[in-house]
């Protein structure tokens, strides 16, 4: 398990609002979708690392 200080938080690419998800710098993923928690934005985006 990675140390919390090494993890980065996922942010919405449209408005910059943080999403309650973390990743480490050597992570790899695609096809994982999130919905922005900002009520004004509320866009869906894919996490590609």
Q: What is the pLDDT along the chain (49 residues), one digit of tens a residue?
A: 677 778 899 999 999 999 989 999 888 999 999 999 999 999 999 999 8
- pLDDT (0 to 100) of residue 1: 66
Place of tokens 């140390």: 3
The CA–CA distances, whole Å, from 23 to 17, 34, 43 equal: 16, 14, 20
Structure tokens belonging to residue 2: 């990675």
Q: What residue ranges do the domains of the chain occupy?
A: 4-47
């Amino acid at each position: 398990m990675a140390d919390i200080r090494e993890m980065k938080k996922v942010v919405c690419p449209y408005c910059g609002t943080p999403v309650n998800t973390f990743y480490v710098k050597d992570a790899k993923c695609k096809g994982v979708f999130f919905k922005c928690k900002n009520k004004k934005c509320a866009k869906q985006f894919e996490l590609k690392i």
